[in-house]
Structure 1
Amino acid sequence: MMARIRLRITPLAGYLCVLAFYSGMMFLSVISEKEKAASLTLDSEEPAFIRLHKSSRSKNDNVALQDVADFFDRISTLETRCRKMVRFGGTFCKGYLDNEKYVCMDDDVLLRSRNCTVYSFGVGADTTFDDTASYYGCDVFMFDPTVNGTELQMSNTKRETFYPWGLSARHYKQNFTIEFDDKPSALIVGEFTTYEDIRKRLSHQERDVNYLKIDIENMEWSVLPQLVRDGHLDRVSQLAIEVHTMDIIIAPPEKVLPMLQSYWQILESLKQLGFLRAKHRFNTVLESTYLDRAHNRSLSTCMEILYIKRGFNRRSQLQRHLPPPDVSL
């Protein structure tokens, strides 16, 4: 006859068992949450890519555009997140803020006050961005062939310098007038030249450009390929572009998608240099919209985009501390 074993659990033992079970479950929960957070948490020095809800979008970035809406959906999808985004300048026009530029202040791309350089192509009559950047402590070099420099109202001339040059893929001069309040200006002789030529004129060949602003009214499509091809963006950490696609408004329907495809390929080439979209905003002031009949949707053809090159400051610091190459003379 087998002996019957009775197990008696005291209230204290039961409490300890429940506590141990609960503690184990909490530990597993914490581990699980940490694993999730590790995939999403932004590092203080180099933020991670944004995890897109539609993974197919990132996979199709190099695939031909499906339709017009596909271009605008892709270009408005961010590729990295800036933890410390600030706005420089801007004025209100027709109830909307215009001409403001966004600057990322994360450590790896930070504009260091008293030791930063800004190139501002396309100043127009609004210097609020340039003024803000100069008061922050940057040396601001302003360019625009359509502006009379003597009439430009700069509020910090100690750090702001203006040049009546336009950014182009080649050097040339052009005569034109500008209409303001339906009144044409006097004849202007505008000089356009290349980024490389401007750098040489300023003796800036070895100088980092911490913030490059390009607002050159549709000429970005000829300038950007040259900047990418010739390596002129190697010393740039933040690139702000006002993108113009209003040509599709008057283009024949069969030409629209090929035009947008060429624009997309140019912008995608920036990724090969390490630039990622950190900010996107459609410009609603210009009132230049395209009617996408396929989706019954009005699309703004002008937008502000900020690209940043992650880890730029760390790479620059590392390069400065590398020993000189051992070259036999």
Structure 2
Amino acid sequence: MIRVGRKWKHLLTFPACVYCLVLLLQLSENRWRMNDHSAVRDCCAEQTEEMSLKGGIDAGTLGLLDYAVVYRHIPPPAKFEDIKFARKFSLPIPVTDHKGNLGLPAGLPPHFRVSGQLSDTEIDLRALVSLVKITTTITFKCIKFLKQGGRTCQRTPDGDKKFCVDEHVAPPTRPCIVYSIGIGHDFSFDRAMGSYGCDVFSFDDDSYHDLYGTNPFPRVHFAHIRLGKSILWDTEINNLKNTTFEFLYRPLDNIMYILHHEKSNIDFLKLDIEGQEWEVFEESIFKTDILERTRQLAIEIHMEKFAEKDLAPRALNEAIGKYLRFFEGLQERGFQLAHYEPNYMGDEGVVTVGGITFTAWAEQLWVNTRVREGSPPSYKRPIDFYVNMLEY
């Protein structure tokens, strides 16, 4: 029988046993994570090798990478239930550290455009890697971000936008112009920017937006229109309610002309138009000089093509090319990525294409480092007079 001294008896108490058990669980969890990461790498390598044998991707023929491209899975934020359980039993609080998961492996090829010499059975991995890099790599260091708006839905924050308030990129106090396009029914960002001192022009429309007047909040001006490639009237027919609803689409340059902003700066442009951003930019906005006069662009990107099942390689390459042209267009006009935040939508938030795993939906903030100074707007009548003109 082993005798324990009187001063060591407290080590055999129940809390001490629980503490030792927690330490053992942590050690086993870390070892499991290491094995899991190695398993992911092995899985990606096997997948790439299998596709090469089937003729889907031949890395040697295409001149791509001589090793498996691994873009690690970005874990979703910790669930509230997991945090509550950890606190109850004094376990480590689970957190999501995106800093260690947003980078691509070292040694990736430099930026390149989509190659037009691929067959119908090959995926352009080089263009895909470029797309992932350009959408996730921070190229502008913002010292101070200001979080504007947002709400909590099912214990998850949503709708907030990051705003860089560094001295050399922040908009002047007066005049300050904000365009908020695609607000849904969340005016929290618009209200916050109005309190900041900006004139906010908000745009969206559906059968429920008739509840909102022209001035829902101080310095916020709301128009019942949608952003489009051209001026267009569209009709929605509801057979269940036996009703019809008409939508008016206007391009951005037309909106700015009516509001007397055709030569002014947009200090902050917020866009969330649910996947229509690609066509609107390529067929309308990129054909104007609006972005050259825009200081900051906050946009929610929707690369929804990657979430479609059984998509042919040709269609995938077309989607990659379309998305890549969008981001290249921003860079050509002086924009640099200042903030990137994955937007998780259940299991569909993360996609795997050609062995590369990434998020197809994300919040981004782009800062224009070569912004061209415009002239302040001149209103001969109250602002709301011009806002009301947009609806006709």
The TM-score with structure 2 as length reference comes to 0.59
**Aligned equivalents of 2:353 and 2:336: distance in 1?**
31
Shift in Å, 1:294: 4.5
- Higher-Rg structure is 1
Q: Is 1:223 aligned to 2:280, yes or no?
A: yes
Q: In the superposition, relative to structure 1, how do residues 189 and 172 fare at CA in structure 2: closer, same or farther (>3 Å)?
A: same
**Aligned 1:230-245 pairs, distance under 5 A:** 230-245=288-303
**Aligned equivalents of 1:302 and 1:112: distance in 2?**
31
Q: Is 1:283 aligned to 2:343, yes or no?
A: yes
Q: In the superposition, relative to structure 1, how do residues 97 and 187 fare at CA in structure 2: closer, same or farther (>3 Å)?
A: farther
Q: Is 1:60 aligned to 2:118, yes or no?
A: no
| Identity value in percent | 24
Shift in Å, 1:269: 1.1
Instruction: State which of 290, 307, 311 in structure 1 corresponds to 2:366.
Output: 307
**Aligned 1:1-329 pairs, distance under 5 A:** 59-60=110-111, 62=113, 66=125, 68=128, 71-146=131-206, 148-152=208-212, 157-176=217-236, 187-225=244-282, 226-250=284-308, 252-254=311-313, 255-285=315-345, 288-292=348-352, 294-295=354-355, 297=357, 299-310=358-369, 312=371, 316=373
Amino acid at match of 2:363: E
Please give the per-residue CA displacement for 1:179-216, whole angstroms capped at 9, x wherever unaligned: xxxx9896421100111111111121122110011111
Shift in Å, 1:300: 2.8
Amino acid at match of 1:198: I
Please give the per-residue CA displacement for 1:39-70, whole angstroms capped at 9, x wherever unaligned: xxxxxxxxxxxxx9978658325465526565
Q: In the superposition, relative to structure 1, how do residues 91 and 287 fare at CA in structure 2: closer, same or farther (>3 Å)?
A: farther
SS in 2 for 1:169: coil
The TM-score with structure 1 as length reference comes to 0.70
Amino acid at match of 2:362: M
Name whichever of 87-96 and 149-158 sits farther off: 149-158
Amino acid at match of 1:245: M
Shift in Å, 1:245: 0.8
Shift in Å, 1:111: 2.5
- Unaligned stretches of 5+ in structure 1? 1-51, 321-329
Q: Is the 8 A contact 1:213 1:240 kept in 2?
A: yes
**Aligned equivalents of 1:102 and 1:302: distance in 2?**
16
Q: In the superposition, relative to structure 1, how do residues 166 and 287 fare at CA in structure 2: closer, same or farther (>3 Å)?
A: farther
Amino acid at match of 1:197: N
| Corresponding pairs, count | 261
**Aligned equivalents of 1:232 and 1:142: distance in 2?**
17
Q: In the superposition, relative to structure 1, how do residues 60 and 177 fare at CA in structure 2: closer, same or farther (>3 Å)?
A: same
Q: In the superposition, relative to structure 1, how do residues 186 and 58 fare at CA in structure 2: closer, same or farther (>3 Å)?
A: farther
Shift in Å, 1:286: 6.3
Shift in Å, 1:149: 4.0
Please give the per-residue CA displacement for 1:116-157, whole angstroms capped at 9, x wherever unaligned: 100000010111110100011110000012264442389863
Shift in Å, 1:101: 0.8
**Aligned equivalents of 1:74 and 1:105: distance in 2?**
23
What is the aligned-residue RMSD (CA, Å)?
Answer: 3.1
Amino acid at match of 1:72: V
SS in 2 for 1:224: helix
Partner residue, 1:6: none
